[in-house]
Chain A
Amino acid sequence: MFNISKIKNDFPIFKYHRQLTYLDSAAMSLKPKVVIEAEDNYYKKYSANIHRGIYRLSEKATEEYENVRRKIAQFINADSEKEIVFVRNTTEAINLVAYALGRVNLEKGDEIVTTIMEHHSNFVPWQALSNEVGAIFKVIDITDDGYLNLDAYKPKTQNPKSKITTKNLNFLESIITKKTKILALTYVSNVLGTINPVKEIIETAKKINPRIITVVDGAQAIPHYKIHVKDLGCDFLAFSGQKMLGPTGAGVLWGRKELLTQMSPFLFGGEMISEVYLNRTIFAQIPHKFEAGTPHIAGVIGLGAAVDYLTQLGLDKVRDHEKDLTAYALLKLAELKDVTIYGPKEIDRRAGVVTFNLKGVHPHDVAAVLDEENVCLRSGHHCAMPLHERLGIDASVRASFYLYNSKEDVDKLINGLLKVKKIFK
């Protein structure tokens, strides 16, 4: 079991806001002291640029920065640190793949498959790419209880005379074809909390089309579970540092070495070259050819400290703790009247994200009243408008948990909701 008061001591924000109940970690995690200090140390003690100075300060900065690359590779069980590209965030990581691989390889009539539960970051880049090259954009639906609907994909232009009913078709064989070039899929829904069977889906997709490129949005997964990227079988995995205790502006794209090697750079300029002549440029090796310009050095170093913190604590324990909190929150919420909870009921297939609505009260009003009680909740569409449309709602309220939350936080949430009900009776 977690010692929450000890953990809270590691997060300076609780010294400034003693009554704080922070339930928006799916958007942004809080930062432990060790992360803030790691960034601070870089700026105070060795804030030189990397990869170019001969002097010792620059060598120290380069070493610290590259150490984090090794650390991340170990953390997700990648083959080599050369597969780790530092970017700003998940959105940038996915755009890198869409630009450097998608725009080069896709042509008219090809297909891109994604799901209705994606965050806009793994939806809009692919939709834009489809529109640009004339590809077919297919979206996997969900079931009413919040799982990916793996049995019932119905093509819009289904031939009514066809003897094959969708019921007889395995979902993947009906949606993924030899023309499907890209499958973009989130590991965990940032709204429903659903944990998708990513490994199984990728396995089946690769059987249908061995050349399919699979891009996994790991933003809501990597901070909370141990993930072995090799075991997962995907081609790309994107995640953000700021959701896993790290600084903002430092995220990661993991890509399979042979794919990264074949791909052209995404951004051109400094740091990503090996030789430049008047009429041609030889690009640097991976991963450096994808890191043009001075990166967020302090942010990456901070992210390294975040990985150390998570590793020391143990991700298995983090997951168990969040499972307990989620089960408790679902139970307590269900006891309230007039609450609609979205997403799966099985705790084993659900992450620490609980999204709901209170009948007759707009989500913004719920969040505003809870703010008066020092409870930070998210309200709105959480960058998942297609999913909200599918659920038949404009907006929702979301509480998301992390390692510094406790059952008392859930109790404060419930008490706050009782206050909302009283105000809006």
Chain B
Amino acid sequence: MSIYQEIILEHYRHPKNYGEIKNPTKKIKLTNPLCGDRIEMMIKLVDNIIVEIKFQGQGCAISQAASSLLTDYAKGKSKEKLKKLDREFMIKLLGIDLGPNRIKCALLPLEALKKLLI
């Protein structure tokens, strides 16, 4: 099965939550040294709940779709719940089989989110 399923491509072409938050509670910038992908993610927290989350940056279809799907999932959820997310969750969220190199593209937004939750 190709990793370029319609859902991935759709999120790549029209990513959700792409952009900036005016006064974020926290923001972070990460890069993937392997391919030079860059992501900036920011959140607004109220009572430990993510009320707003946005991302921007350059990257491949997998990293952009992963960022779009993950930010969509995270919105409205508590810090505690999101801290438990792992690699398996991302694989399920994307619904595709990724090799050892491409999985890094999918994990970059998760790493960014985790750092925002510390």
Contacts and interface: CB of A to CB of B under 8 A. Distances in A.
Contacts of B38: 394
B60 A362 contact: yes
B36 A365 contact: no
B60 A364 contact: yes
Q: Which of B2, B36, B58, B62: most chain A Cβ within 10 A?
A: B36
Contacts of A363: 35, 60
B9 to A, nearest CB: 7
A347 interface: no
Interface string A338-376: 000000000000000000000001111100110010000
Given A362-B61, A364-B102, A423-B4, A379 B35 contact: yes
B116 interface: no
A361 B61 CA distance: 8
Interface string A379-412: 1110001001000001100000000000000000
A424 interface: yes
Given A362-B59, A365-B60, A394-B58, A372 B2 contact: yes
A386 B28 CA distance: 25
A395 B35 contact: yes
B118 interface: no
Contacts of B34: 380
B36 A423 contact: no
A394 B35 CA distance: 8
Nearest to A394: B36
A380 B32 CA distance: 11
Interface size range of chain A in the complex: 10 to 19
B117 interface: no
B105 interface: yes
Interface in B34-81: 34-38, 58-62
A379 B105 CA distance: 14
B3 interface: yes
Contacts of A381: 36
A372 B102 CA distance: 14
A369 B4 contact: yes
Contacts of B102: 364, 368
A379 to B, nearest CB: 7
Nearest to A395: B36
Nearest to A389: B36
A295 B108 CA distance: 40
Contacts of B4: 365, 368-369, 423
Nearest to A361: B61
A139 B41 CA distance: 35
Contacts of B3: 368
A122 B102 CA distance: 29
Interface in A127-168: none
A364 B105 contact: yes
B9 A364 contact: no
B2 to A, nearest CB: 6
A368 B100 CA distance: 13
A229 B58 CA distance: 44
Interface in A167-204: none
A395 B62 CA distance: 16
Nearest to A364: B60
Nearest to A393: B36
Interface string A237-265: 00000000000000000000000000000
Contacts of A394: 35-38, 58
Interface in B70-118: 102, 105
A369 B107 CA distance: 20
A364 B59 CA distance: 9
B32 to A, nearest CB: 10
B103 to A, nearest CB: 12
A173 B36 CA distance: 36
25 contacts: A362-B35, A362-B59, A362-B60, A363-B35, A364-B35, A364-B60, A365-B60, A365-B62, A368-B3, A368-B60, A368-B102, A369-B2, A369-B4, A372-B2, A379-B35, A380-B34, A385-B36, A388-B36, A394-B35, A395-B35, A395-B36, A423-B4, A423-B9, A424-B9, A424-B12
Q: Nearest 3 CB-CB pairs, A to B?
A: A362-B60, A394-B36, A364-B60
Given A362-B61, A365-B61, 17 more contacts: A362-B59, A362-B60, A364-B60, A365-B60, A369-B2, A379-B35, A380-B34, A381-B36, A385-B36, A388-B36, A394-B35, A394-B36, A394-B38, A395-B35, A395-B36, A424-B9, A424-B61
